[in-house]
Amino acid sequence: MTTATLRGHVAIVTGGSRGIGAAIVRALADQGAAVAINYRERAGEADALAKEITAAGGKAIALAADVSQGAAVAQMVQRATAKLGAIDILVNNAGIAITRGVDDLTEADFDSTIAVNLKSVFLCTQAVLPAMRAKKWGRIVNISSGAARGAGAIGPHYNASKAGVEGLTRGYAARLVKEGITVNAVAPSLIETDMMKGQPNLVGRIPLGRFGTSDEVAQAVMMLIGNAYMTGQTVAMSGGMAFN
């Protein structure tokens, strides 16, 4: 059921073809926003999602772009704007998780993790700001992780990338608040996505007794998009594992 509270708004969701990204895309479309679904490799899944939304009466397009590359981001925003209108909602969800220990973590692993998880947030934010400033309204939500503050199982490079995302969130929030643009983060831990498949042993660490769902993460994102007074914050979701 479409509530249409975001009709007239245009969103980009990076890494939007599956998992948490796809749940956020559906939630935005459900509220009437036109959505650009960014993907890097999964064209089939992104196209299928766009078709699903269009068939239900919504507006969505799939856009390929490596969001760790400035030129690709500029082209993506240009194409999304031409097809859907000026972007005023950005969800920075694209990320990679290369599991490494301290002894097998390489410079290449570190660089690619920082580029995809952190630099992409900077590039996409810079690219959409002119349109948001012109409208004096914008919502940016960055997908962080409990690893920004906790130890995590993926590795120090991943911790650093997500802690950086939260630093960018606060830095932009402080500077954009007077222009009607809010910038927040959601930090989920142990969500039932492809990343968690084959790791049922991890459920034992969650006091709630189950993994979180992509839809629950999407709910938190939508709450931040709907709240004009909340900015510079990180909403943590961990089933009771940790508290801010």
Q: Where are any strands of DSSP class E within 65-110? A: 89-92
What SS3 state is found at 223?
helix
Taking the C-alpha atoms of residue 166 and residue 39, their distance in angstroms, rounded to an integer, is 23
Q: Are 170 and 232 in contact (CB under 8 A)?
A: yes
What SS3 state is found at 77?
helix
Q: State the pLDDT at residue 4.
A: 74
Taking the C-alpha atoms of residue 110 and residue 155, their distance in angstroms, rounded to an integer, is 10
Q: State the pLDDT at residue 3.
A: 61
Q: Cβ of 7: how many Cβ atoms within 10 Å? A: 12
Q: State the pLDDT at residue 151.
A: 85
Q: State the pLDDT at residue 196.
A: 67
Query: Which residues are the active-site residues?
Result: 158
Taking the C-alpha atoms of residue 150 and residue 234, their distance in angstroms, rounded to an integer, is 14
Q: Are 230 and 140 in contact (CB under 8 A)?
A: no
User: Which residues, in sequence order, are bridge partners of residue 191?
Assistant: 212
Q: What is the mean pLDDT of each run of 10 residues along the chain (244 residues)?
A: 80 97 98 98 96 98 98 98 98 96 97 98 98 98 95 93 98 98 96 74 90 97 98 96 84
Q: State the pLDDT at residue 152.
A: 85
User: Which residues, in sequence order, are bridge partners of residue 184?
Assistant: 141
Domain ranges, ordered by start, for the chain: 10-237
Q: State the pLDDT at residue 1.
A: 41
**Answer CATH for 10-237 from 3.30.479.30, 3.90.1150.10, 3.60.20.10, 3.40.50.720:** 3.40.50.720
Q: pTM (2 decimals)?
A: 0.96
